[in-house]
Amino acid sequence: MRPQEDRKRVMIEGVRPEIDGGRYPIKRTVGEKVEVEADIFADSHDVLSAVLLYRMEGGSSQWTEAPMEFLVNDRWKGSFVVNEIGRYVCTLQAWVDHFQTWQRDLAKKVDAGQDVSMDLLAGAGIIKDAISQAPGADAKRLEEWAADLKSPQGLKDKVRLALDEELKALMARYPDRRFATTYEKKLMVVVDRTKARYSAWYEMFPRSCADEAGRHGTFKDCEARLPYIAQMGFDVLYLAPIHPIGRTHRKGRNNSPAAGPDDPGSPWAIGSKEGGHKAVHPRLGTLEEFRHLVIKAEEQGMEVAIDLAFQCTPDHPYVEKRPEWFHWKPDGTIQYAENPPKKYEDIYPLNFETEQWKDLWEELKSIVLFWLDQGVQIFRVDNPHTKPFVFWEWLINEIKKDYPGVIFLAEAFTRPKVMYRLAKLGFTQSYTYFAWRNTKWEITQYFTELYHGEVREFFRPNLWPNTPDILTEYLQMGGRAAFMVRLALAATLSANYGIYGPAFELCENRPKEFGSEEYLDSEKYEIRNWDIESPDSLKDLIGRVNRIRRENPALQSDWSLRFHPVDNEQIICYSKNTEDFSNIVLVIVNLDPHHTHSGWLELPISDWGLEPIRPYQVHDLLSDARYLWHGSRNYVEINPQVVPAHIFRLRRRIRTERDFDYYM
Amino acid sequence: MRPQEDRKRVMIEGVRPEIDGGRYPIKRTVGEKVEVEADIFADSHDVLSAVLLYRMEGGSSQWTEAPMEFLVNDRWKGSFVVNEIGRYVCTLQAWVDHFQTWQRDLAKKVDAGQDVSMDLLAGAGIIKDAISQAPGADAKRLEEWAADLKSPQGLKDKVRLALDEELKALMARYPDRRFATTYEKKLMVVVDRTKARYSAWYEMFPRSCADEAGRHGTFKDCEARLPYIAQMGFDVLYLAPIHPIGRTHRKGRNNSPAAGPDDPGSPWAIGSKEGGHKAVHPRLGTLEEFRHLVIKAEEQGMEVAIDLAFQCTPDHPYVEKRPEWFHWKPDGTIQYAENPPKKYEDIYPLNFETEQWKDLWEELKSIVLFWLDQGVQIFRVDNPHTKPFVFWEWLINEIKKDYPGVIFLAEAFTRPKVMYRLAKLGFTQSYTYFAWRNTKWEITQYFTELYHGEVREFFRPNLWPNTPDILTEYLQMGGRAAFMVRLALAATLSANYGIYGPAFELCENRPKEFGSEEYLDSEKYEIRNWDIESPDSLKDLIGRVNRIRRENPALQSDWSLRFHPVDNEQIICYSKNTEDFSNIVLVIVNLDPHHTHSGWLELPISDWGLEPIRPYQVHDLLSDARYLWHGSRNYVEINPQVVPAHIFRLRRRIRTERDFDYYM
């Protein structure tokens, strides 16, 4: 049999956004809007009303309501703004609005010249039913209205009263929701701090920060490097792992199988007799010095992010203390990592199928808590796709319960569905395929998928033109111009981006060998000494790009991205804007690092509120040049040997006095 | 905290078909296949295995398993056939297959020339673990295998044994599913009898079946009419309502507000002192005569369907017995139906918001049970969209629990989302917008939506070129050719279709007035006497079309429908085929009922297994003409004054002997 009450006539379905049937939350940052659409309909032809209900999880159990409005074809829309970090829940409610139905039908009958005296009485009845819900003053007002509709005064006056907008507004406050339908799911919204949406990352190896060649860098050296990074305008400083490095099977320079006595090993080979994931490498300094670095970075506008690489060397303390957390071979040794035929003898993967999985999970959580205690709030997670999804979902939720501002960046370069699942289950930001998307077609396809599909609700891209593992062919082949192209794209296509430096600003592009994306003399296996004051450095350009991002809110979020046609395959053109179009940024990049290209653009100027007959100004924020453009079709020519990109801010003319135009 | 067991590493998501997150069942008929796709993946790079689990609801609680296979991009697919009428449930299970992973990695290591002696021991261990699950003979075989892998024989021999396909097949029977993931939803499949998928309906007014003009037809007259309908090849005989008709506010001829003393009234104005929904109109005969008609129809291959119109006249017995089931006005009278400014004083709608809703629901259910007792198994439901969705979902499920073969056809001509929701909640078949889709573009768009989107999983179209309420402008204007066009389209675009006769076969096309879709002298308000032996009747053509449908299984289901390009907007071309392409039907219709049109078709002959260099035959099943065609591009010319359509069966050449070709 049916439930007790089945006089609910309204259906709610096709709710968007709703990730995997409501299984996963959508993501927002503080101050952003949550827009919800749904199909809402009932039998027959009655008028409906609908609201969004939302509240913070763990806060008051009272719902706040936001009205929904009818769009077209049974589709409704409503929205609310999330103002606090944490989790919101949201659902929908809709009901047959007998009062509005009555008003609509009354108007139709009046128009058709029908006798409506009976209808006016019926209306008085509906108003009377609402009175019990209304407080004093409103109750009194409704009483009067009901009495008027039943009074002996002229029919015409009563009809006017019945159709009055004030009555409609008053009745809307006290709808009869006895048979209201509440949507059966509660949709979740994870609200992060602004940096989850808008951040500029700088990755570096602390051990390479020493001033002089040949010395192992320290946290103190990192502190000395802070002004250099701050000047470039970054706000996240991500350090390659800072833990003790194993000795057994340590890799030598250029990943040679046997390390020399002075080879420092890979920082991702974590664990030695000096400690594991909660220790710092003795040559970098002490935990106290690390905390000092965190504070100093903060003073210069940067947060320190560290790496979570959940794997161990054979020398890691866990191997002795918790041998059951590893895979064992029939000969009684522990199984090293392999991806046949490749072997990684210096790494023991953790066995998440162990009987002791609960202890293992708790220990890994304690690592995150340990670093939170040291002041770290941002974690770049190494290869999360090689550990179980359920583990990450648990870990991230556990941490965010007490530390809702923590940011986890997923470094999963793998199949799309795996990357998306990691984002759904909780990772705040994600690495992408950006590094390998070079052509106009590829870039257009990829960012359309990321920003204009359901994916955007849970997957926040963080674009990296290079990483210690990725020196793309485009960068290898394209020289300095290629680095500028990829910088301009990364910093403007996404509000979150990062570079691995100083390799990036110094245009380091020597591969280990042809066909490889590994660096020659990679910092992963040796200490490098970088000439950061080189005159060829891109540091000033990077600084300018990051300042443009700071000064133009259009570049601080992603969903407004639109691509615009250019009649040259080597030139890509796109724009971003704020919701009110007060800030419009137009980016035009020559993707060919070798040749000058030109082309005609086609811009949607009427969408931007520009009149086709009046000129407008485009102000190149990179070169400070200004151009006066007319209409939707305009010409560009870009020489990659100068700067391969324009980042235009669109400036409208605000008034004309004789020959002088002013642009805002 | 997490559940007790979280070593499940496999994720299952993106399952299709899954209607509204599994809230509604998909539909199939007996013998059809259920194909399920899903994204299935785990962390890392292990090999996975997956199965579909399915069983009948209410039957054994044991799942039957069907293997799933990997497609591409983490997408998997499996299928099973439903052989019984009723409800099935289905879910998915997947696990990390350690044995297959081991076999794959072993092969890679062997290829790379690595030492695998340790791997062979590990493999023996995996095999040993499977033995506990295996029965006698298989256990013994596995024991031998494990022993062989550990034996002192040559490594090469052991590798060969380890990679043996027999071992793989044997191990596949006893996978280690301790950490298998079972999809959290149980998907439902409603399995109907074949007629739900493939049926030809004939609608008529029993009272117009008398041989001589002026007499009220009876069930006996209907019996006499059966051979005529059977000869046309219909298998469902749908009767306009057969209940007593109200007197109060009865409508006269051509829907005039006041009926004359001899006007019979509309059969949809149900209820008089002679009874309500469980009574038959006294002038049609007795209940016993009705049951006799049902049996006689069955003998001639037809099932009788009746109309469920849940509404009452002021004279219906319910008005006196259950006044609380109606809407009451302030003046103490019952509210008649209205759609302001239109009024329907002869109809009292039922009030589903009544306090007595439970009684009302039960009573309406008892009406269906009553007619099931009379031998009726098919119901055409009048305006279901004016009664609550929850009521229909309950009613249909209640009925189908005991009578799973019952068919409900929803007559809801309303907004698309309402129509789809009614189909989702349980209606077996649905009326469509077909009557108003006349151009090639409209037809192509509409049937692509119906057959190639998710809609097809729950919405089974039943196409009607005309109904007693719908005489389209196309039929009004296009003469006899228009009727032939619409017949050919309805009967071949959908495996379910129907006509309202004899108006249809006699090409009745006089509207009540210009701009109206109502018939002049509509049978809804008067008794008509039809000249069914008229030489202009389309009955023979209809008989031929229905025979073609019977003889060509391609036309007995819908999802194979494909449209093919023609370089003339007035000619539409499409095909249907059986899954194995043994039956291919190609339909070409000239949509312009006034002029001869010609054009070039573009056919996907290679998909049909035809070679571009060999001729093939198209056999027009309407005219019996045969044409020899070559390649994908062929010419047609159609004169609508003869027959405006070709229904070709494609015939392949099976062998050539000198100059003689044979086609199957």
Angle at the Cα of B222 from the Cα atoms of B216 and B228, rounded to 5 degrees: 125
Q: Select the residue of B330, B341, B418 nearest A112 (Cβ to Cβ).
A: B341
Q: Is B254 left (phi over 0), alpha (psi -120 to 50) or beta?
A: left
pLDDT tens digits for range B127-151: 999 998 898 899 999 999 999 999 8
Q: Which long-range contacts (CB under 8 A, 24 or more apart) does B59-63 make?
A: B63/B91
CA distance B300 to chain A (A): 39
Residue A657 is predicted with a pLDDT of 55
Distance CA B425, CA B410 (A): 11
Average pLDDT over residues B319-341: 94
Nearest to B339 among A14, A45, A387 (CB): A45
Cβ-Cβ contacts under 8 Å, B418 against chain A:
41, 43, 74
CB contact under 8 A, B416 and A73: yes
Kindly state the average pLDDT of the residues A532-545. Answer: 97
Total CB pairs under 8 A between chain A and B: 142
Task: Give the residue from chain B lying closest to A358, CA to CA.
Answer: B6
- What's the longest Cα–Cα distance across chain A? 106
Residues B4, B1: Cα–Cα separation, whole Å = 9
Task: Kindly identify which residue of chain A lies nearest to residue B15, measuring between CA atoms.
Answer: A20
Q: Chain-centre distance of CA B305, in angstroms? A: 17
Phi, psi of A303 (to 5 degrees): -105, 140
What is the percent of chain A with per-residue pLDDT over 70, rounded to a whole number? 98
Question: Out of B74, B118, B385, whose CB is closest to A417?
Answer: B74
Residue B613 confidence (pLDDT): 86
Gap from A158 CA to chain B (nearest CA, Å): 17
Instruction: Give me the pLDDT at residue B59, please.
Output: 83
Task: Please tell me which residue of chain A has the smallest CA distance to B150.
Answer: A330
Alpha carbons A468 and A465: distance in angstroms, whole number? 11
| Cα–Cα dist A28/A428, whole Å | 10
What ipTM was assigned to the predicted interfaces of this complex? Answer: 0.93
Q: Which residues of A are catalytic?
A: 382, 411
Choice among A226-240, A326-340, B487-501, B553-567 with the minimum mean pLDDT: A326-340
Show the tokens assigned to A228.
């250099």
- Per-residue pLDDT of B582-594, as tens digits, reads 999 999 999 999 9
For the record, the structure tokens of A540 come out as: 């000033």
Measured between beta carbons, which residues in chain B are less than 8 angstroms from residue A45? 339
Cβ–Cβ below 8 Å for A73 and B394: no
**B121 chain-A contacts, CB cut-off 8 A:** 330-331
The reported pLDDT for the residue numbered A344 is 93
pLDDT digits (tens, 9 = 90+) for A329-366: 999 999 999 999 899 999 999 999 999 999 999 999 99
The two three-digit tokens of residue A127, written as one number: 């108003």
Distance (Å) of CA B554 to CA B498, B572, B636: 18, 18, 22
DSSP one-letter code for B655: E
> Closest-CA residue in chain B for A413?
B44
DSSP string, A206-270: GGG--SSTTSPP-HHHHHHHHHHHHHHT-SEEEEPP-S-B--TT---GGG-SS--TT----TTSB
3-state SS, one letter per residue, for A399-460: HHHHCCCCEEEEECCCCHHHHHHHHHHCCCEECCCHHHCCCHHHHHHHHHHHHHCHHHHCCC
Contact: A7, B118; criterion CB under 8 Å: no
Distance from CA of B108 to the nearest CA of A (A): 6
* Band of pLDDT at residue A429, cut at 50, 70 and 90: very high
Distance from CA of B109 to the nearest CA of A (A): 5
Query: What is the predicted pLDDT for the residue at A152?
Result: 87
Contact B430, B419 (CB under 8 A): yes
* DSSP strand pairing (A597-602 vs A633-638): antiparallel
Cβ neighbors of B335 (< 8 A, separation 6 or more) are B326, B327, B328, B329, B348, B349
Task: Look at B415 and A73 and tell me if their CB atoms are within 8 Å.
Answer: yes
Percent of all residues in chain B with a pLDDT value above 70, rounded to a whole number? 98
pLDDT band at B6 (very low <50, low <70, confident <90, very high): confident
Strands of B389-446 (E only): list them. 407-411, 429-430
Among A117, A127, A115, A126, which residue's Cα sits nearest to residue A151? A117
**Whether residue A244 has pLDDT greater than 80:** yes
The Cα of B143 is separated from the nearest Cα of chain A by a number of Å equal to 18
Cβ–Cβ under 8 Å, residues B31 and B470: no
Contact between chains at B14 and A417 (C-beta distance less than 8 A): yes
Going by C-beta distance under 8 Å and a sequence separation of 6 or more, which residues neighbour residue B6? A357, A361, A388, A390, A391, A394
- Cβ atoms of A238 and A202 closer than 8 Å: yes
Residue-level pLDDT at A627: 95
The owner of tokens 């960068």 is: A475
A115-158 per-position pLDDT tens digit = 999 999 999 999 999 998 898 899 999 999 999 999 888 889 99
Indicate whether A379 pLDDT > 70. yes
pLDDT tens figures, A6-50: 899 999 999 999 999 999 999 999 999 999 999 999 999 999 999
Among residues A591, A578, A499, the alpha carbon closest in space to that of A546 is found at: A499
**Phi, psi (degrees; rounded to nearest 5) at A264:** -80, -15
Tens of pLDDT, residues B92-126: 999 999 999 999 999 999 999 999 999 999 999 99
The pair of structure tokens assigned to B75 is: 């997408």
Q: Which pLDDT tens digit goes with each residue over B423-444?
A: 999 999 999 999 999 999 999 9
Return the number of other C-beta atoms located less than 10 Å from residue A511's C-beta.
18
Q: Mapping DSSP to helix (H, G, I), strand (E, B) and coil, where does residue A54 land?
A: strand
Sequence-distant (≥ 6) Cβ neighbours of residue B455 within 8 angstroms = B420, B449
Model-level pTM?
0.94
| Residues A89, A94, A95: CA angle, nearest 5 degrees | 150
The beta-carbon neighbor of B43 closest among A39, A109, A385 is A385
Contact, B213 vs B280, CB < 8 A? no
For the annotated catalytic residues of B, the residue numbers are 382, 411
DSSP state of B113: T
d(C-alpha B546, C-alpha B532), whole Å:
18
Do the chains contact at B389 and A74, CB–CB below 8 Å? no
Q: What is the pLDDT of residues A56-108, one digit of tens each?
A: 998 888 999 999 999 999 999 999 999 999 999 999 999 999 999 999 999 99
Q: Is pLDDT of B482 > 60?
A: yes
Is pLDDT above 80 for B351? yes
Q: Nearest-CA distance from B178 to chain A in Å?
A: 10
Computed over its alpha carbons, how large is the radius of gyration of chain B? 31
SS3 assignment, position B151 = coil
Q: Which of A44, A46, A100, A391 to mutate to test the interface with B (most CBs of B within 10 A)?
A: A44
> Would you call A298 exposed, middle or buried from its count of C-beta atoms within 10 A (0-12, 13-18, 19+)?
middle
User: What does the pLDDT read at residue A661?
Assistant: 56
Q: What is the DSSP letter of B434?
A: G
Query: Which of B11, B39, B109 is closest, CB to CB, to A340?
Result: B109
Q: Provide the b/e sequence for A381-416 (b: ≥16 CB within 10 Å).
A: bbbbbbbbbbbbbbbbebbbeeeeebbbbbbbbbee
Contact A118 B385 (CB under 8 A): no
Q: Give the residue on B whose Cα is nearest the Cα of A327.
A: B122
**CB contact at 8 A, A246 and A269:** yes
Shortest distance, CA A267 to any CA of chain B (angstroms)? 22
3-state class (DSSP) for residue A128: helix
Could you tell me the pLDDT band of residue B5, with boundaries at 50, 70 and 90?
low
| CB-CB under 8 Å, B74 with A418 | yes
Q: How far apart are CA B420 and CA B412, in angstroms?
A: 10
Q: Which chain A residue has the Cα nearest residue B386?
A: A44
| Residue A529, φ and ψ in degrees, nearest 5 | -115, 115
Chain B residues closer than 8 Å to A41 by CB: 415, 417-418, 421
3-state secondary structure of B401: helix
Q: Give the per-residue pLDDT at B661.
A: 56
Q: Which residues of A touch B331 (CB under 8 A)?
A: 118, 121
What is the sign, positive or negative, of the torsion defined by CA atoms of B68, B69, B70, B71? negative
CB distance A386–B44 less than 8 Å? yes
Which of B47, B390, B395, B398 to probe by mutation at the A interface, max A CB count within 10 Å?
Answer: B390
CB contact under 8 A, B331 and A20: no
Among the partner residues B45, B114, B329, nearest to A339 by beta-carbon distance: B45
Query: Which residues of chain A have a CB within 8 Å of the CB of B386?
Result: 43-44
Tell me if A11 sits within 8 A of A41, measured CB to CB. Answer: yes
Write out chain B residues lying below 8 Å of A11, CB-based.
389, 421
CA–CA dist A242, A305 (Å, integer): 11
Task: Name the band, by pLDDT with cuts 50, 70 and 90, for residue A612.
Answer: confident
Conformation bin of residue B86: beta by default, left when phi > 0, alpha when psi is -120 to 50: left
CA distances from A332 to A317, A348, A383, A510, B119 (A): 18, 14, 27, 43, 13
SS3 of A171-221: HHCCCCCCCCEECCCCEEEEEECHHHCCEEEEEECHHHCCCCCCCCCCHHH
The end-to-end CA distance of chain A, in Å, is 67
Instruction: Answer yes or no: are the C-beta atoms of A518 and A266 closer than 8 Å.
Output: no
The confidence score (pLDDT) of residue A59 equals 83
Minimal Cβ distance to A6: which of B20, B42, B357 = B357
- Cα A243 to the chain's mean position, in Å? 29
* CA separation for the pair A250, A261 (Å, rounded): 10
